[in-house]
Each structure stands twice: as C-alpha cells, then as structure tokens.
Chains A and B, each alone.
Chain A
Amino acid sequence: MDFGDAPDEAAFRTRLRAWLQDNNPRLPASSTSDDYWAGAAAWHQSLYDAGFFAMSWPTEIGGQALPTVYEVILDDELAAAGAPPRPSLGYLVQGILEHGSEDIQRRFLPGIVNGRERWCQGFSEPDAGSDLASLRTRAEPDGDDYVITGHKVWTSYSDVADWCLVLARTDTDVPKHKGLSAFVVSMHQPGIEQRPLRMINGITTEFGEVLFDGARVPAANMIGAPGDGWRLAMTVVSHEREPGELGYVARYRKVVNQLADRVRDDRAAFDDEQVRDLGWAMIEAEMLRLHVCRRLSDRLDGISHGPEGSVDKLLMTSVEQAVGHAALAVGGAGHDGGDDTWLNVYLYSRAQSVMGGTSQIQRNLVATRILGLPTS
C-alpha cells in the first residue's frame, strides 16, 4: 500500500506543475458565473492538447493509457495551481466504452475526449425525474432514421452541445425499463429547441431544457440494440456519481485553498465558528481526495460499474455542501453588493444532492444493493 509518487509519477507531476504556471486561464470559481462556462471549452482543448487530459483512457480514443492514479495527480496539481478542474466527461466516455459498438466508439469518442465536440445528456423529463424509466420521449422508426418527440430537462451544457445522448422509448408494449433505447442525436437540426434555465445562483449557461419535435437521428446512431437504453443509462449515471470520473476533487480543493488564503491574510477578521466551518471543509475535501485515490487504485485490475458510485456520490455531496457552507461562512454572502462569488459557490452546492440522482435515491441503492436490506 503506497500513497506516494513513483518516479514516473513524480516526473509527470513536475511537468504538469510547470505547464500550469504558464497556462492557467484563471477562470472564476467553477459554476459560479457565465464567464466560467464561456472559457470551459478552450480550457478543455488546451489541457488536452498539452497531454494533460484523459490520462487513463485508451490511446485509441485520445487518452494517454496511463494507470488510473494519474488522474489523482492531475486533480492534485490543478487544485494546487488554482486552475479550473478537468472537464467532467468520464461518465459519457465510460458509458460508450461499455455499451457502444466499435463504429459508435470510433465516430464519437475522439471528439468528446479532445474537446472539439460538445455533448449534453437528455435523460430527465418534467414527469420523469427520480423515476427515470417512466420517461415519455418517443423515438419512432422512419426509414433509416428514428424520429424523436419529447421534452428533456435539467440538461447541462445543452446551449453549447453538438450532440445529445438521448434516452427515448422505442417500445411501449414491454415493462418500462425494457422499452428504452439510447441515441446520439445531432443538436444542429430544425426539430430541436433549446431553452436556457436560470439556476439559483443566477447562471444561465450551464443548465437547460430541450424540446424535440420531429428531430431525426440515423438508426446507426443507436448505442447498443433497441431496448438496451436502460443498461447504458445505468452505466452512465453510476459513473456520473464518481468524483474520480468527474474531477471534482480539484474543484473543492481550489475553493478551500482560496478561503484558507483569506483567513491566513487576516485571521483576526474571522471568528472561531467561521474558521471551524473552513476546517471541516478542508477535512472533507482531503477525505474525498484520499477516497478517489482508493477507488482509482481499485481500478488498477479493471473497472467495475457497481453500486459503489452511490457511496461516492453521497460522500461527494457532503464535501461539496461543507465547502459551500465554508464559502458562505468565510467568503460571506456579499450583502453590500460586492463580490458574489462565495454566495454563488454556496448556492450551487445545493444542486449536488439532486443532480445525477438525488441523495434519497443513492441511499436506497446503498441500502438495498450494498447492505442487502430488503426492498419494500
């Protein structure tokens, strides 16, 4: 058991640290302003082009094929430099690697990984949130195409996406989980209307809803076979719950470091309660770093798409919300009309217990699939 860097890892760390000195775009805190999202694509491409993204993914899709623990080093150094986190795309990549045909993988994965093609995920609907399998968006065959009709919501990055991974019903005569199929749908076509949603911290460029009214998708863009959509969706959401795939450790540690700098600069301006909130956020963020180290080490012998993601999601949520509380305690709400960064970090943190499956759903999964408690 060894948490330390091996020589190759230490050399990589040094190289990355030097690169970050010259290439940190110094974007605002993640997900707190539209400026952050405006710079996110350029950051992805810059990180990728320098060889510092997709560390553990296959070279054939643009990755570096390094051991998974290189992702840990990447997150460490991004946080230490105060750079933006790495793009959160692991769940899409893992889902397509697990379920896509070679043709689908060859056509789509390189563009996702190198950041030249942007994606969004059309799963949730107004009447299908936690009960995702009840979704009503339909995909009906028409020649070599399917025609998509329906309403997707909570669709992150839909404003900039080139492609949408759409989960749609292709068979209404079978139980609800079995009638779903997954498609890669072009967002650049007339049958699609994208509407931004304004989040509680005011940003408008992360979140959206998408209306499909006769949008077309070639049958060749189906991932897996008809009826395989639920399995793909479960793989995708299981990885969407993993901080190791999302790179969120860097996001949390960056905020914590910035807050610690504020307190260090003027300790007397903060009372013990504020400093304690920050201390717990530091401890929580460090816990998640070590937890990701453990999970990614477990993958050295191959990946599992199991229910552990629900444990990780609940841990990640407690970290994000502790960091949010520290941001509010130390950064302040900004009632004087000044900097609203810390208020926005705090407000954004409330979404973490909902996105990717609510904390209540995660607890159901931990209880029944890990602890073996009976289903009601």
Chain B
Amino acid sequence: MWWRTLTSSGIADEFGSLMDVRLSHEQSALRDAATQVVDRLGPRAVGQLADDERGTKLEAAVDAAGWRELRTDAGGAPLATGVEAAIIAEELARGLGDVPFLGPTLAADLRRRAGAPPATALETVVLAPGLASLATEVDGGLAIDAQGSATALLLVPVDGGHALAAVDAKPSAVQVDLTRSVAALDPAATGETLPGQTRVLTDDDVTAWTALGLALTTAELVGTMRGAVDLGCEYAKERRQYGSPIGSFQAVQHLLADAFVAMEGSRSVALHAAWAVDALAPDDALAGAAMAKAYSSRAARMVCETVIQVHGGIGNTWECLAHVHLRRALLSADVLGGAGANLDRVLAHAGIGGERGLR
C-alpha cells in the first residue's frame, strides 16, 4: 500500500494510553475462566436444577476462584473494578449459574465502603419491598441471592449518613428465579449494627454502590440474553417443519436477529456502566448505569419472550430452559429497578423529570 495505517504497536509507540474499550488480556482470561466453570457445572436442563451434587461442585468452584471477593478492600480500593465483577456476573447469567454472586458481591462492596472487615461467611444484602433500593428497615425487606447466606446487610441511619446493620437471612421456598433465591425476612427480627465499621456511609457511597448494583444486574441481563439467544438458535437449527429447519424461515430468522441485535446494543451500554462504577463521579456513574439498566431490562424481556416463541409449544412447558432464562431476567431487572425506575433516573439526571418523578 502507498498509504500507511496505524497498527496496534504503532499506536502504543505514538500515543501511549488511549481510549480503548476492549477487554484487556487479563479481563479476557477472567472471562474464559468463568465460561469454563459455568459451562462445566451449570445446569444444562431443567432437571439438573435439582442435582445437588452438581450444585455443590459449582458452589465449590466459585468459592475457590474467589470471585465473590472482587469488591473487598485491597489497600483503600476494591480488589477489582466493576468491569471484572461484571464479567463474572455476565458469564454466570449466560450459563444459568445457580450460585450466589450478585448478593455477596454487593455486600462486600458495602463492607468495604463502611471500612468494615470482610465477611467470614457468605452474606448478602436486603432490598426494600419491590427490590428497587437498598433496605433501610427490616420489615418487608427481601434478601436477594440468599442461598447459603447466614446474614444480610441493610442501612440504618446515623449522624451524618448511614451505617450497616446485619440481619439473619433464610431463603423462602417459593422462588421466581429458579437459579437464585430471595428470602423474606422475619418482621420481628431486628438488624444488629455491624461491628468494626470505621466510616459513616454518605449518600454518595449509596449512589456509587447503587451504580455498581445496576452495572452488575445489567451485565447479568446481557448474559441472560446471550444464553437465551444461543438456546433459541440451537432449537431453530434442529426443529423441522414443512421438511426444513424452522431456522431457515425468514419469520423465525428475523425474530432471532432482532433478539441478537438487542443483546449487542445492551452489551455496549453494559460495558460502559461497568467501567463507570469506579471511573466516574457517583452521580455520573449512576446516570450511566441507569441508562444501561433501562435499555437492557427492556431488551432482555423481549429477547426471552422471543426465545419462548421460537420454541413453540415446548417453550411454554416447564421442562424447556427458555422460561428459566426469562425468570432470571425478571429478577435481574427488578433488582435496583428495571426499565421504568431507571428511565426516571435518567430523566432526573437530565433535569427533565417531574417534580415527584413521573407518575
């Protein structure tokens, strides 16, 4: 060529650092490790959800990998950024990993912000009724992602801000998401102030923590969409009608194409939200995360519904994994607010929300 283009090494020599939103080599390796674990030990059929031996192995593998400690304190900063945590959240969701990650990661981040020592046993967080925010009282609160957790954290008011309290958590029997449990709390229980806290949590802390929660649940929704689209495409290639695979018909192809495109758009906003957690000021991180969560919540429901439709009658039976993805998406969407709540956050950040939010 008579003209010259930049190569990667040329860019590095000439420009040093650069806006570059690709995963680093370390981040790609982390993703590959998570992919391997969940592909090997995650449920591959509805019947396998009840396979305790498999579940125990998955729990042991996640525990050994240390992924739930990514947001613990490492010399004044989290051990890993929101990007690494989001990578794990996405892969576990893609493979329907029925193992706690979101709750313990969010609890660890709260402890870090409050200057409290890391939990000695599995711990999660309590969300207010409706799941749209961190709970400030036990009554009506729900501990998310609660399997295996002895305790769950919530906020209590103190002078100048908030402190953390812990309450006993026991999973209730009936679950929407078949891969993760939500525990209703004993209304008579009282939260005990968590010992060892060295900092009062400010509103900015809660905002930044909420941004992390939105970024992680957005990443989960992307993972769910990937898993669901893969499931739908596999089925469309195998299932035959009129003598041909149904995936050869444009009507079916276009449904799956739209689902894939919605997932790709969601992936782009999810990456930014995960980066913003530690790189932007709390209000801006929250605005970015709210955009991402609103977009992905709307997309994920459409994608999962599409995959049920592509499966036809089978898709409406308990034994098809399609509804397991949809159910997981419903919980991921509702944790810290889905499309509506986050659209309101976006409008408020842009200065065009209603006085009391949209009605």
Indicate whether A65 sits within 8 Å of B4 (C-beta atoms), given known contacts A3-B276, A287-B291, A373-B233.
yes
Binary contact readout A267-302 vs B (1 if CB under 8 angstroms, 0 otherwise): 100001001101110111011001101100110111
Residue of A nearest to B236 (CB): A373
B261 touches A1 (CB 8 A): no
A4 touches B19 (CB 8 A): yes
In the complex, which of the residues B2, B18, B247 has the most CB atoms of chain A within 10 Å of its own CB atom? B18
| CB-contact partner of B19 in A2, A360, A368, A370, under 8 A | A2
| CB-contact partner of B350 in A105, A282, A373, under 8 A | A282
List chain B residues, Cβ under 8 A from A275: 347, 352-354, 358
In the complex, which of the residues A260, A264, A284, A290 has the most CB atoms of chain B within 10 Å of its own CB atom? A290
List chain A residues, Cβ under 8 A from B233: 371-373
Residue of A nearest to B287 (CB): A286
Binds B, one of A6-14, A34-42, A126-134: A6-14
Nearest-Cβ distance from residue B281 to partner chain A, whole angstroms: 12
Question: Number of residue pairs across A and B with beta carbons under 8 Å?
Answer: 199
List chain B residues, Cβ under 8 A from A106: 2
A367 to B257 CA separation, bound complex (whole angstroms): 5
Binary contact readout A240-277 vs B (1 if CB under 8 angstroms, 0 otherwise): 00000000000000000000100110010000100110
A263 to B245 CA separation, bound complex (whole angstroms): 50
Nearest-Cβ distance from residue B170 to partner chain A, whole angstroms: 38
List chain A residues, Cβ under 8 A from B244: 374, 376
Indicate whether A376 sits within 8 Å of B268 (C-beta atoms), given known contacts A6-B18, A264-B352, A300-B18.
no
Indicate whether A2 sits within 8 Å of B352 (C-beta atoms), given known contacts A67-B15, A364-B253.
no
B265 touches A1 (CB 8 A): no
A8 to B11 CA separation, bound complex (whole angstroms): 12
Binds A, one of B21-29, B97-105, B183-191, B315-323: B21-29
List chain A residues, Cβ under 8 A from B267: 294
List chain A residues, Cβ under 8 A from B5: 58, 65, 302
Binary contact readout B343-359 vs A (1 if CB under 8 angstroms, 0 otherwise): 10011001111100011
A39 to B256 CA separation, bound complex (whole angstroms): 42
B17 touches A6 (CB 8 A): yes
Residue of A nearest to B230 (CB): A371
226-261 of chain B: CB within 8 A of chain A: 229, 233, 236-237, 244-245, 247-250, 252-254, 256-258, 260-261
| CB-contact partner of B358 in A260, A276, A371, under 8 A | A276
Q: Is A314 an interface residue (CB 8 A)?
A: yes
Q: Is A102 an interface residue (CB 8 A)?
A: yes
In the complex, which of the residues A9, A61, A366 has the most CB atoms of chain B within 10 Å of its own CB atom? A366
Indicate whether A105 sits within 8 Å of B16 (C-beta atoms), given known contacts A1-B271, A373-B237.
no
List chain A residues, Cβ under 8 A from B353: 275
B24 touches A1 (CB 8 A): yes
A27 to B69 CA separation, bound complex (whole angstroms): 53
Q: Is B305 an interface residue (CB 8 A)?
A: no
A372 to B252 CA separation, bound complex (whole angstroms): 13
Residue of A nearest to B349 (CB): A282
Q: Is B74 an interface residue (CB 8 A)?
A: no
| CB-contact partner of B20 in A59, A280, A297, A367, under 8 A | A297
A67 touches B343 (CB 8 A): no
B268 touches A1 (CB 8 A): no
44-70 of chain A: CB within 8 A of chain B: 56, 58-61, 65-67, 69
A366 to B247 CA separation, bound complex (whole angstroms): 12
B19 touches A69 (CB 8 A): yes
List chain B residues, Cβ under 8 A from A373: 233, 236-237, 245, 247-248, 252-253, 256
Indicate whether A368 sits within 8 Å of B253 (C-beta atoms), given known contacts A264-B351, A275-B358.
yes
Q: Chain B interface: which size bin? A: 35 or more
A311 to B20 CA separation, bound complex (whole angstroms): 21
How many residues of A are counted as interface, with CB atoms below 8 angstroms from the partner's CB atoms?
Answer: 66
List chain B residues, Cβ under 8 A from A8: 15-16
List chain A residues, Cβ under 8 A from B261: 311, 314-315, 366
A370 to B27 CA separation, bound complex (whole angstroms): 24
A102 to B3 CA separation, bound complex (whole angstroms): 9
Indicate whether A290 sits within 8 Å of B268 (C-beta atoms), given known contacts A1-B22, A311-B260, A364-B253.
yes
Residue of B nearest to A70 (CB): B19
The interface residues of chain A, by DSSP majority, are classed as helix
| CB-contact partner of A374 in B248, B269, B276, B279, under 8 A | B248
Q: Is B272 an interface residue (CB 8 A)?
A: yes
List chain A residues, Cβ under 8 A from B11: 67, 300
Nearest-Cβ distance from residue A254 to partner chain B, whole angstroms: 15
Nearest-Cβ distance from residue A56 to partner chain B, whole angstroms: 8
Binary contact readout A341-376 vs B (1 if CB under 8 angstroms, 0 otherwise): 000000000000000000010111011101111111
Nearest-Cβ distance from residue B43 to partner chain A, whole angstroms: 23
Q: Is A142 an interface residue (CB 8 A)?
A: no
Q: Is A72 an interface residue (CB 8 A)?
A: yes
B343 touches A280 (CB 8 A): yes
Nearest-Cβ distance from residue B250 to partner chain A, whole angstroms: 7
List chain A residues, Cβ under 8 A from B264: 291, 311, 315
Residue of B nearest to A102 (CB): B2
A374 touches B295 (CB 8 A): no
In the complex, which of the residues B16, B23, B244, B346 has the most CB atoms of chain A within 10 Å of its own CB atom? B346
A282 to B287 CA separation, bound complex (whole angstroms): 12
Q: Is B6 an interface residue (CB 8 A)?
A: yes
A323 to B173 CA separation, bound complex (whole angstroms): 45
List chain B residues, Cβ under 8 A from A1: 20-24, 27, 83, 271, 275
123-177 of chain B: CB within 8 A of chain A: none
A105 touches B27 (CB 8 A): no
B8 touches A301 (CB 8 A): yes
List chain B residues, Cβ under 8 A from A375: 248
Nearest-Cβ distance from residue B260 to partner chain A, whole angstroms: 6
Q: Is B294 an interface residue (CB 8 A)?
A: yes
A65 to B6 CA separation, bound complex (whole angstroms): 7
B2 touches A360 (CB 8 A): no
| CB-contact partner of A267 in B257, B258, B268, B354, under 8 A | B354
Q: Is A339 an interface residue (CB 8 A)?
A: no
Known: A58-B4, A314-B257. 16 other contacts (CB 8 A): A2-B20, A6-B17, A7-B17, A56-B6, A260-B350, A264-B352, A279-B346, A282-B346, A286-B291, A290-B268, A290-B269, A294-B267, A366-B260, A371-B229, A373-B253, A374-B247
What would 17 A/B residue contacts be, using CB atoms closer than 8 Å?
A1-B271, A2-B275, A3-B279, A9-B19, A58-B4, A279-B343, A282-B291, A283-B346, A294-B268, A297-B21, A301-B8, A314-B261, A371-B256, A371-B257, A373-B237, A373-B245, A373-B247
